[in-house]
A and B are shown apart, each in its own frame.
Chain A
Amino acid sequence: MTQTTTIHGEKISLLRVLGPGHVWALGVGIVLVGEYMGWNFSVGKGGAMAALIACWVAGLLYTCVAMIDSEVTSTVAAAGGQYAQAKHIVGPLMAFNVGLFLVFAYTMLEAANAITLGYLIQTVGGMMGMTDAAGEALVLHDKPFIVLTIMFLAWLNYRGVYATLTFNLVITAIAFLAIIILFFAVKPWTTEVLQHEELLTGLPYGWIGVIAALHFGLWYYLGIEGTCQAAEEVRSPARSLPLGTMTGIMTLLIAATMTWFICAGLMPWEYLGQAVTPLFDAARLMDSMPLMVLLFIGTIFSTLASANGCINDASRAWFSMARDRYLPQWFGAVHPKYRTPYRAIVFLVPVAVLFAYYAPLDQVITFSILSGLLGYTFMTFNVVMFRRKWPLGSIDRGYVHPMHPLPALVLLLLCSATYFAVFLGYGTQLMAMMLFFIIASLWFHFHRYRYVRRGDQFSMPWPRPQGDY
């Protein structure tokens, strides 16, 4: 049966089935892998104390992000999150760039997670110690599992958002519980296991090491802002989005501090700074098989949850841009049965596979961090313009963040420091990425924008902007 026209103005929308728990699972699920691996490279940059400072400074940065984002997104409840915010508050060119930041940040993070999962499976294969008939050690290759991870999670996302994020809720909760169990297992109230006095050796590279540590300090929280991509799929966006986002950042602050406390008390900074799976290593040092199994499961689950949430968010951003014709409208389709942006999901699969298959992990991670950082910088002036154009009282807000404009200023200051930190380690990549976004902006301005139906893209029932802007 081919239905050639819409009947009685029938429309298909994304499905509104999610609650605050799913929003929490989306945000924390994307990020929690950063506690299991990645954050500890900040230890290598400046020592364990520098990593703790980076953890809390980045925590402050992300608390500002979560507060600002919660306020704006509680009024702009649209898939695409910050893209839709930029479109309504700043303008089309900014929105196009923010949309690209989102797609790249999440697709690269998805690729990084798939690489990590492949590596973990390969490591387990090596630990099994299997040999062939000639006594040669067998090697389990990572590539099939990298591709399988992306394919399976894309398939799950294709089939519906409710099952996807319920799956995320379960595996994220297990991964978070694993950190809490490990925290109590190391008996933090005694010095029986933890040796902070012996292992904390100050700042081996001085304060420049602290600045450099900020680069990987972001890894503790990177992606929490992804909660607002679910705006068109939650039952009560004005309530669920701020609730899910703020409880998410609280969860991450607790998990990040616990993770640092456990690892810095068990491993010398020289080892910790280059470890691949620090929390799993901490469990191995406890010499307890149940703990090792639990933390291994936590590592796998956190990686899966992150890749899963990334597919969800990248596809919503791509879908939203296409729906406004910022990209070919073909990508703005919704599956009539599963109610997901199925073409956007399928299109991004080969992109993620190519990066996961061929690009080195640190380059992929840096690409993701830089895209995220550009998005946070946008948030600073976005919220200032938002408050000026639509002051408090002019539109309904589900949440009002305190002390404006202090969080925006703090966020801008911390973003600047982090750009410098990234420049110290990956200056060429930073320049290459800026060049890419400049070229993409020129393409949008001179070519693509002519296809955009300018009046249709502003969908929020807001009064005309007022105030001084």
Chain B
Amino acid sequence: MPDISTLNNYQLIEYGAWGLSLLLGLWMLFDTLKTNMTYSEDLLTSSREGEIDDALVIDPPHQGGHR
């Protein structure tokens, strides 16, 4: 870990960009894992091509959202 007092402004910006990238990446990974564990695989992969307007749309924690 570099000594923060020796960093110039550009290095701080670069570390900021790396940090933000890491944060966003971890957020997506965490949410993916959480979603995979919360819902059944059958439900997650239940989308079918051509099934457009009818007999859809379920969003278990958000019932009544989109229809």
Hey, which chain B residues are within 8 Å of A130, CB to CB? 8-10
Given A13-B57, A148-B17, does the pair A336, B39 have CB atoms closer than 8 Å? yes
Tell me how far the C-beta of A422 lies from the nearest C-beta in chain B, rounded to whole angstroms. Answer: 33
Interface majority SS (helix, strand, loop, mixed), chain A: loop
| Chain A, 24-77, CB within 8 A of any chain B CB | 77
Tell me how far the C-beta of A78 lies from the nearest C-beta in chain B, rounded to whole angstroms. Answer: 5
Max chain A C-beta neighbours (<10 A), residue from B13, B24, B48: B24
A467 within 8 A of B: no
- B50 and A460: CB pair below 8 A? yes
Instruction: Please report the C-alpha to C-alpha distance between residue A335 and residue B45 in the assembled complex, in whole angstroms.
Output: 9
Chain B, residues 52-66, CB within 8 Å of chain A (1/0): the string is 110111111110001
- B38 and A11: CB pair below 8 A? no
A276 within 8 A of B: no
Hey, which chain B residues are within 8 Å of A297, CB to CB? none
Given A155-B28, A336-B44, A346-B32, does the pair A1, B49 have CB atoms closer than 8 Å? no
Number of B residues, CB within 8 Å of A:
44
Of chain B, the residue at the smallest CB distance from A77 is B52
Hey, which chain A residues are within 8 Å of B53, CB to CB? 16
Max chain B C-beta neighbours (<10 A), residue from A10, A14, A324, A456: A10
Interface residues on A, range: 35 or more
Hey, which chain B residues are within 8 Å of A80, CB to CB? 49
- B29 and A346: CB pair below 8 A? yes
In-complex Cβ contact of A158 among B31, B59, B62 (8 A): B31
Given A12-B44, A151-B25, A336-B35, does the pair A138, B8 have CB atoms closer than 8 Å? yes
- A3 and B52: CB pair below 8 A? no
In-complex Cβ contact of A11 among B8, B10, B49, B51 (8 A): B51
- A3 and B17: CB pair below 8 A? no
- B44 and A333: CB pair below 8 A? yes
Of chain A, the residue at the smallest CB distance from B20 is A148
Hey, which chain A residues are within 8 Å of B56, CB to CB? 11-13
- A151 and B44: CB pair below 8 A? no
Hey, which chain B residues are within 8 Å of A377, CB to CB? none
Chain B, residues 22-50, CB within 8 Å of chain A (1/0): the string is 00110111011001011111111111111
Hey, which chain A residues are within 8 Å of B21, CB to CB? 144, 147-148, 151-152
B3 within 8 A of A: no
- B44 and A140: CB pair below 8 A? no
| Chain A, 168-198, CB within 8 A of any chain B CB | none
| Chain A, 331-372, CB within 8 A of any chain B CB | 332-337, 339, 342-343, 345-346, 349
The 10 closest A-B pairs by CB, nearest first: A459-B50, A144-B17, A10-B58, A333-B44, A11-B46, A459-B49, A151-B24, A151-B21, A148-B17, A155-B24
Known pairs A144-B14, A154-B24. 6 more at Cβ < 8 A?
A: A10-B60, A147-B18, A342-B35, A346-B29, A456-B48, A461-B50
Q: Can you list 14 pairs linking A and B with CB atoms under 8 Å apart?
A: A3-B38, A10-B43, A11-B47, A78-B49, A78-B50, A125-B10, A140-B14, A148-B18, A155-B28, A158-B28, A158-B31, A232-B49, A323-B47, A346-B29
Hey, which bits of chain A sit against chain B, CB under 8 A?
A: 1-7, 9-17, 77-80, 84, 125, 130, 132, 138-141, 144-145, 147-148, 151-152, 154-155, 158, 232, 320, 323-324, 329-330, 332-337, 339, 342-343, 345-346, 349, 456-457, 459-461
